[in-house]
Structure 1
Amino acid sequence: MFPKPIQQSAPWARLTYKVLLPVALVLWLLPLIGVALTSVRPQGDLAAGNYFGIPSGFAGIENYTAVLTNSPIATYILNSFKVTVPTVIGAIALSCLTGFALAVYRFRFNLGIFFLFVAGNFIPFQILMVPVRDMTLRAGLYDTTLGLVLFHIAFQTGFCTLFMRNFIKGLPFALIESARVEGVSEWKIFRHIVLPLMRPAIAALAVLVFTFVWNDYFWATVLVQGQHAMPVTAGLYSLNGQWVAAWHLVSAGSIIAALPPVAMFFLMQKHFIAGLTLGATKG
């Protein structure tokens, strides 16, 4: 039923795996390697058409210094934190409550409500562009950080609820029943019994939602126009000049913008892996 571990496969399969894995890894990393090389190229290389060759010199210090000092990238990164951090907190807080309710309580429309959360994940987000933009305009939230935060919380809560509900379903229900027999209130059951057991799932979701929202480009361009609220993904385009595409600066800015999600993953790596694999094996 489950795939056989590679260590138990035939010798030819293990050899093929060892040969193809580095090749696949290099192919997957080629775009990132290209961006990293472009970020340290002199501007003359790009003007001469040297896009994929070895850089003629190292201009990394000049490029990164120019990005940090001559552009509003610090403001864009701060805006991204203002959008991402509240979204992670809001989406996870709501999904913990809704996941607990859908997993523990039995009521008439339990399964129907759960299917609504699941169905929301299958809606192509591009078709929501016009209605969401009109909604933010009517509510006075267009071109604001709050508008982006509220939209991302609403959009991410469906996936987070699906994740949390299934995670709580796998917890031993006897703990909750024992607490109810002792007369513990439902809020205290959630806070003191269920919530501590959900820490691996919360950590995994925090990394996933942080990465999704931080890397969002579509809604950052649809719901925001001014620099005062523009996240870094949309703001990177402003590093280009009016007449000349400064791809070396855009690449340097992209590397800087990618650092927070990478740092978030490595800081939460242990809990992230535990949250994704908890319950995946038995025995």
Structure 2
Amino acid sequence: MTSAVAARPAQHAKAATGAPRDRRRVRPARLGLHTFLMVVSLAFLAPLLLAVYASLRPYQETAKYGYFSLPRHLSFDYYQQAFTEGEMSKYFVNSLIIAVPALLLTLFFASFVAFSVSRIQLRGRVFLLVMFTAGNLLPQQVIVTPLYALFNRIPLPYWMSDSMTMYDSYWAVIAVQVAFQTGFCVFVLANFMRTLPMEIIEAAIVDGAGVWTQYWRITLPLCRPALAALATLQFTWMYNDFLWALVFMSSGDKLPITSALNNLRGQFFTDYNLLAAGSVIVALPTILVFMILQRQFIAGLTLGANKG
């Protein structure tokens, strides 16, 4: 009897010491998942890494030994050449003139509409949300010709457009970006706002808060992670877009940074290592934005993950 009682604490102690070992044991399924994620990550990073590697090597070297050969000489000469020959400083400003106002307008309109359909009792709010979301399903190429004809007929004062119309102006590209991206942002923000406690709005109404106060001072600060995630995605899409600027702008001096890569292509010969350096320079602002908003972006992606 005494030996059985004495054996129980030993068994409990062994179980207690064995439990952490079981937790630390790597399960095959988890190991396979991590391996899969690493392979996918490397597959996505491979083109960028190859572009960086090629931009540091002379074209004559890669033409002789191939792009996957060991380097004989590495330098940053192509980056300086791409920045000067491509006139990238001017095109960077053009891209910011388009992307920054379009981003701010998109987030403002989308957050206000999302607040209306998720926090205010409106008739047909579900139908309104569906209509905003369905707008993203329309192929952009379908309405290129109608918009081209429309913008040529919308007059603008000279201080807003050199052509005296909406065509060949930044306003045309900004308007299209806002119109196409607002629907997606409304869908994301409306779903997030539904997870916020309704008691906060009810308490604000009891204190006499109006609709604008409920939106601007109460709801919007709680949506910072979602807004940061959307800002990162939207800036990347608007910054990298080239279709709308190519269609609605005829002046080369107004084109965005993506058009600067065409200046690096020769008529009879193209130095692809120089083009790779220009591509890396063009991608730097989006990488910088992601690094600045990385924490908020990750928090925005995981919103609602632990909600029942």
TM-score by structure 2 length? 0.83
Q: Aligned residue for 1:251?
A: 276
> 12, 16, 21: which is aligned to 2:32?
16
> 188, 207, 217: which is aligned to 2:242?
217
Q: Which shows bigger deviation, 77-86 or 105-114?
A: 105-114
> 140, 150, 156: which is aligned to 2:181?
156
Distance in 2, matches of 1:29 and 1:145, equals 33
1:76·1:227 contact (CA, 8 Å) conserved in 2? Answer: no
Correspondence list, 1:1-283, <5 A: 11-45=27-61, 47-48=63-64, 50-58=66-74, 60-139=75-154, 140-282=165-307
Cα gap change, 1:235 to 1:163, in 2 (>3 Å): same
Cα gap change, 1:246 to 1:14, in 2 (>3 Å): same
Q: Secondary structure in 2 aligned to 1:249? A: helix
1:42·1:55 contact (CA, 8 Å) conserved in 2? Answer: no
Paired residues, number: 276
The alpha-carbon deviation at position 53 of structure 1 amounts to 3.1
The residue type paired with residue 70 of structure 1 is E
The residue type paired with residue 93 of structure 2 is L
Q: Secondary structure in 2 aligned to 1:15? A: helix
Q: Aligned residue for 1:3?
A: none
Distance in 2, matches of 1:226 and 1:235, equals 13
Deviations 1:161-195 (A, max 9, x none): 11111111111111111221222211112122112
Q: Aligned residue for 1:4?
A: none
The residue type paired with residue 268 of structure 1 is L
Q: Which shows bigger deviation, 83-92 or 67-76?
A: 67-76
The residue type paired with residue 118 of structure 2 is A
1:100·1:165 contact (CA, 8 Å) conserved in 2? Answer: yes
Distance in 2, matches of 1:191 and 1:19, equals 44
2:225·2:296 contact (CA, 8 Å) conserved in 1? Answer: yes
Deviations 1:87-140 (A, max 9, x none): 110000111111111112222222221111010111122222222222222222
Q: Radius of gyration: which is bigger?
A: 2
The residue type paired with residue 281 of structure 1 is N
Cα gap change, 1:103 to 1:173, in 2 (>3 Å): same
2:86·2:260 contact (CA, 8 Å) conserved in 1? Answer: no
Cα gap change, 1:209 to 1:34, in 2 (>3 Å): same
Q: Which shows bigger deviation, 92-101 or 122-131?
A: 122-131
Q: Which shows bigger deviation, 46-55 or 149-158?
A: 46-55
Distance in 2, matches of 1:56 and 1:226, equals 42
Distance in 1, matches of 2:186 and 2:31, equals 41
The residue type paired with residue 96 of structure 1 is S
Cα gap change, 1:199 to 1:39, in 2 (>3 Å): same
1:92·1:160 contact (CA, 8 Å) conserved in 2? Answer: yes
Distance in 1, matches of 2:265 and 2:126, equals 50
